[in-house]
A and B are shown apart, each in its own frame.
Chain A
Amino acid sequence: GAGVSQSPSNKVTEKGKDVELRCDPISGHTALYWYRQSLGQGLEFLIYFQGNSAPDKSGLPSDRFSAERTGGSVSTLTIQRTQQEDSAVYLCASSQSSGRDSPLHFGNGTRLTVT
């Protein structure tokens, strides 16, 4: 079946512009996660959705970052007034449930470059 799909795969934007990153999880997966991968920094947790609600937003770096999920499926991560330090690969992952025994299935990521 189809895996986790993210778009765009690459995004170059000017400092100060807003960007939207999209994630289409595996069908039937109720849990959805956003991570940020910076060089040498590993994966930084941003936000977690169970269905359409976000019980854990603790990783969002600032109020310029927001995310939503509609219909228990597609999620959008929005970064307002982008800064150069926002440049990174943004990864989306989904899992069958929010249970501790559900491994994550990752998309290929969106590489964001802020110039």
Chain B
Amino acid sequence: AQSVSQHNHHVILSEAASLELGCNYSYGGTVNLFWYVQYPGQHLQLLLKYFSGDPLVKGIKGFEAEFIKSKFSFNLRKPSVQWSDTAEYFCAVIGGGFKTIFGAGTRLFVKA
């Protein structure tokens, strides 16, 4: 069965620090990969996605993620976080079929 693991459940950073959130998935075939974000009081929204091509994808608000097939990973990065990046981040995968499977989420708190 497909699954998604997010290694960090809670992350606390100071503004301007660099961010990397880990995500690994288990599925041996072709995958579509996503990061979704949920800001406080708001609904989940798409941050970025990977379907094919360049494994380094750029999303909104300066976020990027790199698909490393050999490691089954799709880590999220941002060089310099802001207080407004405080949110919960979810990695998600579509492997076989059409069902999006989500990780448990990582809560990021950025100190001003």
Contact = CB atoms under 8 A, between A and B. Distances in A.
B108 to A, nearest CB: 15
Interface in A69-107: 91, 93, 98-101, 103-104, 106-107
B56 interface: no
A56 B96 CA distance: 13
A28 interface: no
Given A3-B43, A42-B90, A106-B43, A35 B102 contact: yes
A100 B98 contact: yes
Contacts of A93: 44
Contacts of A98: 98
B89 to A, nearest CB: 11
Nearest to B44: A106
A48 B90 contact: no
A42 B98 contact: no
Which of A3, A48, A103, A108 has the most CB atoms of chain B within a 10 A radius of its CB? A103
Contact of B101 (A3, A4, A41, A45): A45
B43 to A, nearest CB: 5
Contact of B34 (A45, A91, A103): A103
A43 B45 contact: no
Contacts of B45: 106
A100 B9 contact: no
Contact of A101 (B51, B99, B101, B104): B51
Contact of A45 (B49, B51, B99): B99
Nearest to B107: A40
B18 interface: no
22 contacts: A3-B43, A33-B100, A42-B6, A42-B102, A42-B103, A48-B98, A56-B97, A56-B98, A93-B44, A100-B94, A101-B32, A103-B34, A103-B46, A103-B49, A104-B36, A104-B44, A106-B36, A106-B43, A106-B44, A107-B43, A108-B42, A109-B43
Given A101-B51, A107-B43, 8 more contacts: A3-B43, A42-B102, A42-B104, A43-B102, A48-B98, A101-B49, A104-B36, A106-B36
